[in-house]
A and B are shown apart, each in its own frame.
Chain A
Amino acid sequence: MIIYQPLINNLSHFQSLKRLIDADLSEPYSVYVYRYFLNRWPELTFLAFDSESETSDEPIGCVICKSELHRGRRMRGYIGMLAVQSDYRGRGIAKSLVKKAIEKMHQDGCDEIMLETEVENVAALNLYENMGFIRMKRMFRYYLNEGDAFKLILPLTQRSCVRTTFLDDVNGIDIL
């Protein structure tokens, strides 16, 4: 059985998370990227474990997110990383992880969820677009490995559909 858990205050999986994600990255992330996400938004990282596996305490999938006030006006959730170990793919694990993360960010008052993914990453594009994300823009040679990327957004509230310039300031929210 696949079990899903938030990371909160449990940094013991740090190395295995890093390994899981590094395996699929053409350009590596430094330890600081992981620290940046995991230390500040541990509640927005979700892990998947296979309770029946011999290494049931090793995560086999994870999604790493953050949420911040965008230009002082809009609460934006951001999916930074997502990976499922290759032998566990195609079983809906990524979908469940992403759902959990979005639910949490929704509860926390996000107006939208944003992420970037490579134009060539059909699996990720299908996954997100089937959840309602749309491509907002294309970015030329966004990745160090030279591929273009799409910026995807999932609007959760009407505030996502108004240019920040025309939104009221969000007073009293200071998440930094």
Chain B
Amino acid sequence: MDLEKEFGNLHLSGSTKDGLIDEKLSDLVDITELFFDLGKDLSPQTIIQDPGFNSFEGTHSLEVNNPKLDSSLISLTSEEERFSCDVACGATDVERLMYVTGIVDWLARFLVCWLNEYQTLPTTVLSCRYVEFLLTVSSEREELSYLRTGDRLYDQVLCDAIYGICYFAKFVQKLLKAGVVFEEEDLNFNHMGLDFLSYVEDQELILTRLHRSIDYIESLQSPETGFLQHLLKLICCLVSLENHLKVYSADTTELDNLIEEAIYLEQQRSSECDPPPGCFSMGIQKRLSNQFPPKHLVVPTWNYKGFVIMAQDIKAVLMVDKAASMLEAAQLASFFNKLTQRHVVARALFPLFFIRDDERVLGRYSGFDCINLHLTEFCATTTASTTILSPEMTPVLQEAMNIMFEWYQNMAQNTSRYRQGYNRQLLLWDALHAQMESCEYEIASQATGEESITKTGIFMPCSSWVFFMKVTAMIEYVLKGFDLEVYKPFEAFAMFWYSYYLSYQQESCLEKVHEVIESKINSIHSLGKKIKKQKNAQKKTELKAQYRHLMDNNMESLRTNKRYLSYLLMHGSIIKSLSLCEVLQFSILKSFGVIDNKTSASKIFSNDRLLLELRLKPFSSIGVPELLTYEAFESALNDLLITEPMISSKLEKTLDRISKEVSNALTAIDTIKKCINAGDNNGLLVTGTRLVKEQALKYYDQLHASAKAIELNNAVITAKLGRSKSSSISDKFTVRLSIPNDASRFFPLLELTNSTKNKRVR
């Protein structure tokens, strides 16, 4: 307490923020001695006891006088020390042009380092003295300020370029603040306390000034200005990008221009000019508020194609505006970021463009419309319209909508977060499933019509959809673990067996829905037959009217439902078959003793049961589908093992089974690919992939390659292991998970490799 009082006494009266700078040194109080005096009473053991100081704080804390952690100790070259923004560098007109071109070129390429290569702002764009200077003076005056060197290239062109770049950075900052992507992990926006043009609302102002600079350098009529002109045009495109968020523009003109400019600049390597010495420096880390350890400047490579990647990825996002159905939107979301992680700006933009500020989806649908469409396009046509409209259903649908929004948002996450997102979602889907079932059951049992009664009892379309979404999330979570290399080979059996089990559950659900839809279709057809048989003219007219109504209003969507469900079933069958193939290959390898589903690790602290249960922790609370027990996994594997007698023929049988599953998968893949190519109006299936055709085809191509690789692996395994067991085999081989070229990362191969005595890789 005394300490606080003493600190209180140290307050300098009358020293305002600005006043302090003007204070004469003699007016300041030297507190060094007092500080150390007071510090004497503190023992190191007690310093870090604040509950708020956790290991996160710890690892992010800085340390005075530690050169690795104290940015005030950064040493600058004399050129950096002497650098002044008040004079135009360069002795001649040409030299000044080269310098300004060099600065703007570096800044543009630094943008790519920052956004495409995950570098920090202070080691890229903010390392430019002019950027620091202009942002500082402008924010003091809350208006754009300009250099005063007397040279128009500096005082106007360079400033306009810098404000364009900062305006774009401001847009990126806005994306980051929306909270979709993660600071540090996806994007660094360490602004060093500088205000990124918060006082400039007007994009037009920035653009007009850039255009006046383009006009000016054009008027110089010098061939050396070409490169700079194109740089400025590129910056104009960047400034316009905010329109995709500000007014939700889906117009791609500026993105196409950006691509064109970037391709042009990429080819102009010979025009590279150096910026003036000292202009880019670590100095800002020393001068301004910095909460990070000192970091060396990035050396930008010739990276203009980075802008092409950004623009193309944003275009992929904007395609969602063309979605003709919720299914197309959902398929775009599923595929656009699935195989390769998209540019951070595109990923951040996606959910914001999709779910607008007013919570309307694509500006067209309310949340309720959105969930309604999802349900309708899945199975709910005519079956559940009454259910959906029941007032009891409103809160449940509201919750469904929230989860669906989360689902959309998760699709744009970086590859690791994506899996974690599902981990969270599992709980939400599971809770929703229970809620939906009880609500839907209640409504259905009150209904009088035979509408929802099937052979197997009450059919609940909405709950079926939730169940389908939940199981899909579970499968995705499990298989994504292979992509992220989270599993060791010994775990492959459990994970593939589980995904097989889940696909089986999913298939049963889809088949039921398919059956209901089919019977709806059939009942309309049979109404047609009834009409023919009907003798009573009035009844005949009534039936005809009813038939017409059903044909006009329901038939088309029922047929679409049916074709979409066929797609889902076919897709699921691929996952199921490939999972089973992996399981069977594992069982062969285990039968020969080259792999085990038990860890080879020391068991002094843990055991196999705990390891499996920990692995399945995300599912531990899920009611349906029921979690498989340790014993269930064990007995499943035991049943598949190839044991004496007649090993050779049993092996043959297992290999045949694998080949059969591979061929099932290949047929399904081919059918799906044909239907993707043919479009939803022309094929057996509705896939909803019109807007992401290329990515969807690539995804199925990869599954195709995996299926082929698994088939080939059959031959490799038998060639290496022979067809009868021998005790020496287990010492000769080990199994690793490998991804063959162009194959799916969700189905790595159980690859037999020669075991090496020397395991150390240094």
* Cβ contact within 8 Å between A29 and B45: no
- Chain B residue with Cβ nearest A112: B614
Report A144-176 CB contacts with B as 1/0, cut-off 8 Å.
Answer: 101010100111111011110110000000001
B53 close to A (CB within 8 Å): yes
How far in angstroms is the closest Cβ of chain A from B538?
A: 63
How many angstroms between the C-alpha atoms of A144 and B616 in the bound complex? 31
Contacts of A30 in B (CB 8 A): 58, 61-63, 66, 69
* Cβ contact within 8 Å between B68 and A35: no
Q: Which of A27, A33, A106 contacts B61 (CB 8 A)?
A: A33
How many angstroms between the C-alpha atoms of A31 and B51 in the bound complex? 18
- Chain B residue with Cβ nearest A149: B416
A contacts with B, residue count (CB < 8 A):
56
How many angstroms between the C-alpha atoms of A11 and B47 in the bound complex? 15
Contacts of A129 in B (CB 8 A): 488, 601
A69 close to B (CB within 8 Å): no
Is chain B's binding surface mostly helix, strand, loop or mixed? Answer: loop
A102 close to B (CB within 8 Å): yes
Contacts of A160 in B (CB 8 A): 610, 614, 617
How many angstroms between the C-alpha atoms of A101 and B615 in the bound complex? 23
Contacts of A80 in B (CB 8 A): 55
A8 close to B (CB within 8 Å): no
B residues with a Cβ closer than 8 A to A are 44-45, 47-49, 51, 53, 55, 57-59, 61-63, 66, 68-69, 118, 184-186, 293, 414-417, 419-420, 423, 427, 484-488, 491, 599-606, 610-611, 613-618, 620-621, 759-761
Q: Are A102 and B59 CB-contacts (below 8 A) given A28-B68, A132-B599? A: no
Q: Which 7 A-B pairs have the closest CB atoms?
A: A161-B613, A30-B63, A28-B68, A140-B416, A33-B58, A132-B606, A138-B484
- Chain B residue with Cβ nearest A125: B488
How many angstroms between the C-alpha atoms of A31 and B63 in the bound complex? 7
How many angstroms between the C-alpha atoms of A80 and B56 in the bound complex? 11
Contacts of B606 in A (CB 8 A): 132, 154-156
Query: Which interface residue of B420, B487, B602, B605 has the most chain A CB atoms within 10 A?
Result: B605
* Cβ contact within 8 Å between A166 and B59: no
How many angstroms between the C-alpha atoms of A106 and B614 in the bound complex? 17
- Chain B residue with Cβ nearest A32: B61
Q: Are A154 and B488 CB-contacts (below 8 A) given A140-B415, A176-B51? A: no
How many angstroms between the C-alpha atoms of A29 and B63 in the bound complex? 9
How many angstroms between the C-alpha atoms of A153 and B378 in the bound complex? 39
- Chain A residue with Cβ nearest B184: A141
How many angstroms between the C-alpha atoms of A79 and B55 in the bound complex? 12
* Cβ contact within 8 Å between A132 and B611: yes
How many angstroms between the C-alpha atoms of A129 and B611 in the bound complex? 11
Contacts of A146 in B (CB 8 A): 118
A residues with a Cβ closer than 8 A to B are 11, 27-33, 35-37, 39-40, 66, 78, 80, 90, 99, 102, 106, 112-113, 119, 122, 126, 129-142, 144, 146, 148, 150, 153-158, 160-163, 165-166, 176
Q: Are A155 and B610 CB-contacts (below 8 A) given A106-B605, A122-B761, A129-B601? A: yes
How many angstroms between the C-alpha atoms of A28 and B760 in the bound complex? 27
Q: Are A36 and B55 CB-contacts (below 8 A) given A28-B66, A132-B611? A: yes
- Chain A residue with Cβ nearest B65: A31
* Cβ contact within 8 Å between A156 and B605: yes
Contacts of B599 in A (CB 8 A): 132
How far in angstroms is the closest Cβ of chain A from B186?
A: 8
- Chain B residue with Cβ nearest A151: B486
Q: Are A134 and B63 CB-contacts (below 8 A) given A35-B47, A161-B614? A: no
* Cβ contact within 8 Å between B44 and A39: yes
Contacts of A29 in B (CB 8 A): 58-59
Q: Are A140 and B611 CB-contacts (below 8 A) given A30-B58, A132-B603? A: no
Known pairs A39-B44, A138-B486, A140-B186; list 13 more (Cβ under 8 Å). A36-B48, A36-B58, A113-B605, A132-B606, A134-B611, A137-B416, A137-B486, A138-B419, A140-B414, A140-B415, A156-B610, A161-B620, A162-B617
How far in angstroms is the closest Cβ of chain B from A67?
A: 12
Contacts of B487 in A (CB 8 A): 135
How many angstroms between the C-alpha atoms of A126 and B611 in the bound complex? 16
Contacts of A162 in B (CB 8 A): 617, 620-621
* Cβ contact within 8 Å between A141 and B185: yes
* Cβ contact within 8 Å between A90 and B760: yes
How far in angstroms is the closest Cβ of chain A from B692?
A: 23
How many angstroms between the C-alpha atoms of A148 and B417 in the bound complex? 12
* Cβ contact within 8 Å between A27 and B614: no
Q: Are A165 and B118 CB-contacts (below 8 A) given A32-B63, A132-B606? A: no
Contacts of B486 in A (CB 8 A): 135-138, 150
* Cβ contact within 8 Å between B614 and A138: no
Q: Are A134 and B58 CB-contacts (below 8 A) given A35-B47, A90-B760? A: no
Q: Are A153 and B614 CB-contacts (below 8 A) given A80-B55, A136-B486, A163-B621? A: yes
* Cβ contact within 8 Å between A32 and B618: no
- Chain B residue with Cβ nearest A157: B610
How far in angstroms is the closest Cβ of chain A from B494?
A: 11
Contacts of A113 in B (CB 8 A): 605
* Cβ contact within 8 Å between A134 and B617: no
Contacts of A163 in B (CB 8 A): 427, 617-618, 620-621
- Chain A residue with Cβ nearest B759: A126
Contacts of A28 in B (CB 8 A): 66, 68-69, 293
Contacts of B49 in A (CB 8 A): 39-40
- Chain A residue with Cβ nearest B47: A35
How many angstroms between the C-alpha atoms of A40 and B49 in the bound complex? 8
- Chain B residue with Cβ nearest A9: B45
How far in angstroms is the closest Cβ of chain A from B291?
A: 12
* Cβ contact within 8 Å between A138 and B48: no
* Cβ contact within 8 Å between B48 and A39: yes
How many angstroms between the C-alpha atoms of A32 and B63 in the bound complex? 8
How far in angstroms is the closest Cβ of chain A from B761?
A: 5
Contacts of B293 in A (CB 8 A): 27-28, 144
How many angstroms between the C-alpha atoms of A165 and B484 in the bound complex? 26
Contacts of A148 in B (CB 8 A): 416
Q: Are A132 and B69 CB-contacts (below 8 A) given A140-B416, A176-B51? A: no
Query: Which interface residue of B51, B57, B601, B621 has the most chain A CB atoms within 10 A?
Result: B601
How far in angstroms is the closest Cβ of chain A from B184?
A: 8
Contacts of A131 in B (CB 8 A): 601-602, 604-605
Contacts of B415 in A (CB 8 A): 140
- Chain B residue with Cβ nearest A90: B760
How far in angstroms is the closest Cβ of chain A from B66?
A: 7
Q: What are 23 residue pairs bridging A and B, where the CB atoms are less than 8 Å apart in the complex?
A: A28-B293, A29-B58, A29-B59, A31-B63, A33-B58, A36-B48, A99-B604, A129-B601, A133-B601, A134-B491, A134-B614, A134-B615, A135-B485, A135-B487, A138-B416, A141-B118, A146-B118, A153-B614, A155-B606, A155-B611, A156-B605, A158-B610, A161-B616
* Cβ contact within 8 Å between B484 and A155: no
* Cβ contact within 8 Å between A33 and B59: yes
Contacts of A32 in B (CB 8 A): 48, 53, 57-58, 61, 63
* Cβ contact within 8 Å between A134 and B602: no
How many angstroms between the C-alpha atoms of A153 and B602 in the bound complex? 14
How many angstroms between the C-alpha atoms of A122 and B51 in the bound complex? 34
- Chain B residue with Cβ nearest A160: B614
- Chain B residue with Cβ nearest A11: B44
Q: Which of B51, B55, B185 contacts A140 (CB 8 A)?
A: B185
Contacts of B416 in A (CB 8 A): 137-140, 148
Q: Which of A33, A35, A140 contacts B417 (CB 8 A)?
A: A140
Contacts of B615 in A (CB 8 A): 134
How far in angstroms is the closest Cβ of chain B from A42?
A: 9
How far in angstroms is the closest Cβ of chain B from A81?
A: 10
Contacts of A135 in B (CB 8 A): 485-488
Contacts of A39 in B (CB 8 A): 44-45, 47-49
Contacts of A176 in B (CB 8 A): 51
How far in angstroms is the closest Cβ of chain A from B548?
A: 53
How many angstroms between the C-alpha atoms of A37 and B54 in the bound complex? 10
- Chain B residue with Cβ nearest A148: B416
* Cβ contact within 8 Å between B44 and A35: yes
